């Protein structure tokens, strides 16, 4: 899908694919008259020993022990294949009962999903963090159940900051530029890491758009990709960062996120926008860093980018009551904490978020948690978003190249987005 993966955990690949059982027709009944529900889930592990399959198998057995007459069959696939597996099954008329994948809008748009209020108990539905739950709505009805989330912060290399004589992390664009100038003068290879290559372009672009007062859509959900605020943002990046050699010697349009992450953990990057996985990667390499809210055009950004992955329930096999019971169990506080804590992710429920914030076990995640209530998400409710994201990946990097024309490029992407939106309607 369009943003694999916000977690940076796609190394699972072939190793985790080998753990996944072969998909067969998603039959609806188990032997002995038990109701069987089928779940297809994505793997967040990066090796067989921490595959998500272990979590789901344990959870399913515990649920079955407490709910006689219901069986849960789980298949876990790597992120490189899980979305296609589900799409292929749905197209073949063999939809699973549940899918935990990257996007829900296509299935909701053609009436294949149960809505949240058709399945979940009121306490479970009310426990979702409102900003994330809203991102799961189509025409104000929630079909996408957020499963895990993440936000972004600015990471700063403490050693390089000290070397450059920078006493304080930047809070505004001008602060960031001034810090980048000092880092460059101190010989830092990449003062600011700007990954506008295909892997991360939609995310990095959205963070900068938000920090400049813009975004991909307005409050009504209409695309505003070429808004004056967004144009000004990319003009600033072109002229004040890239044009002044503050993003290193490479071309941001061809620079991917993991390249910048790797350079940061090697001590060659002064600043970059990152998610929780970067903490683990940096800690493993002994990099000392600060994490602060994203700088904005005139001070701290009012919002950051949030990312969510989704759970959805298909109508095809019925089982609405059984699915509701299982999902209430999945979203219980302790189960949410167990999964998110294992993979350095953020809970999507208020109860689990509060519990994580109160303890010391996951104290490094607290800075990301604090950003979650005001985070803004990809327009995942739009069936056009996958195609728009692809266009962003292909084109938006050119806005910051020498001679780049942000107004023209953003205008072209906006026209394509509107055409896709109209076609979907």
- pLDDT at 72 exceeding the cut of 80: yes
Mean pLDDT rounded to a whole number for the chain: 87
Q: What is the pLDDT of residues 4-61, one digit of tens each?
A: 344 433 333 333 333 343 333 344 454 456 789 999 998 888 777 888 999 999 999 9
Query: What is residue 50's predicted lDDT score, i.e. its pLDDT?
Result: 80
**165: Cα separation from own chain's centroid:** 34
Query: What is residue 12's predicted lDDT score, i.e. its pLDDT?
Result: 34
Neighbours of 222 (CB within 10 A): 12
The model's pTM: 0.80
Query: What is residue 33's predicted lDDT score, i.e. its pLDDT?
Result: 60
Query: Per-residue confidence at 425, pLDDT binned at 50, 70, 90?
Result: low
Are 99 and 314 in contact, with CB atoms under 8 Å apart? yes
Q: What are phi and psi of 408, to 5 degrees?
A: -70, -45
Query: What is residue 32's predicted lDDT score, i.e. its pLDDT?
Result: 52
Are 309 and 148 in contact, with CB atoms under 8 Å apart? yes
> How much is the average pLDDT of 151-165?
97
- Beta strands 153-157; 289-292: pairing state: antiparallel
Query: What is residue 22's predicted lDDT score, i.e. its pLDDT?
Result: 37
Query: What is residue 349's predicted lDDT score, i.e. its pLDDT?
Result: 93
Query: What is residue 14's predicted lDDT score, i.e. its pLDDT?
Result: 33
- pLDDT at 396 exceeding the cut of 50: yes
Q: Give the bridge partners for 305, in sequence order.
A: 376
Residue 373 has which token pair? 């209530």
Residue 361 has which token pair? 């076990």
Query: What is residue 424's predicted lDDT score, i.e. its pLDDT?
Result: 66
- pLDDT at 201 exceeding the cut of 50: yes
Query: What is residue 292's predicted lDDT score, i.e. its pLDDT?
Result: 95
- pLDDT at 388 exceeding the cut of 50: yes
Share of the chain above pLDDT 90, in %: 60
Q: What is the pLDDT of residues 270-293, one digit of tens each?
A: 999 998 889 988 999 999 999 999
Q: What is the pLDDT of residues 207-233, one digit of tens each?
A: 999 999 999 999 888 999 999 999 999
Share of the chain above pLDDT 70, in %: 92
Alpha helix ranges (H) inside 289-396: 320-330, 333-342, 350-358, 366-371, 385-395
């Amino acid at each position: 899908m369009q943003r694999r993966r916000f977690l940076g955990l796609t190394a699972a690949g072939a190793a985790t694919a080998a753990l996944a059982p072969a998909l067969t027709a998603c039959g609806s009944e188990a032997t002995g008259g038990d109701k069987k529900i089928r779940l297809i889930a994505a793997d967040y592990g990066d090796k067989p020993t921490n595959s998500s399959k272990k979590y789901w198998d344990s959870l399913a057995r515990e649920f079955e022990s407490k709910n006689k007459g219901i069986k849960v069959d789980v298949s876990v696939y790597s992120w490189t294949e899980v979305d296609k597996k589900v799409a292929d099954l749905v197209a073949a008329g063999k939809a699973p009962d549940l899918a935990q994948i990257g996007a829900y809008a296509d299935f909701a748009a053609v009436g294949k999903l149960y809505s949240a209020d058709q399945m979940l108990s009121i306490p479970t539905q009310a426990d979702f963090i409102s900003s994330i739950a809203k991102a799961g709505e189509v025409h104000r009805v929630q079909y996408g159940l957020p499963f895990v989330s993440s936000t972004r912060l600015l990471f700063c290399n403490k050693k390089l900051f000290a070397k450059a004589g920078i006493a304080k992390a930047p809070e505004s664009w001008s602060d960031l530029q001034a810090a980048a100038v000092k880092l460059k003068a101190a010989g830092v290879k990449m003062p600011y890491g700007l990954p506008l290559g295909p892997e991360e372009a939609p995310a990095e672009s959205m963070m900068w758009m938000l920090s400049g007062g813009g975004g991909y859509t307005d409050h009504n959900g209409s695309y505003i990709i070429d808004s004056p605020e967004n144009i000004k943002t990319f003009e600033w990046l072109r002229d004040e960062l890239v044009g002044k050699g503050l993003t290193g010697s490479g071309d941001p349009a061809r620079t991917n996120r993991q390249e910048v992450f790797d350079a940061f953990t090697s001590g060659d990057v002064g600043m970059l926008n990152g998610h929780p996985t970067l903490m683990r990667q940096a800690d493993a390499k002994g990099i000392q860093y600060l994490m602060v809210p994203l700088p904005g055009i005139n001070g701290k950004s009012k919002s950051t980018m949030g990312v969510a992955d989704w759970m959805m329930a298909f109508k095809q096999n019925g089982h609405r009551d059984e699915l509701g019971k299982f999902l209430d169990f999945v979203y219980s506080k302790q189960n949410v904490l167990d999964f998110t804590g294992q993979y350095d992710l953020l809970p999507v429920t208020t109860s689990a978020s509060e519990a994580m914030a109160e303890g010391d076990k996951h104290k490094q995640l607290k800075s990301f948690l604090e950003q979650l209530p005001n985070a803004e998400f990809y327009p995942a409710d739009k069936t056009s978003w996958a195609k728009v994201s692809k266009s962003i990946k292909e084109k938006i990097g050119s806005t910051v190249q020498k001679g780049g024309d942000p107004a023209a490029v953003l205008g072209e992407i906006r026209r394509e987005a509107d055409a896709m939106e109209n076609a979907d309607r």
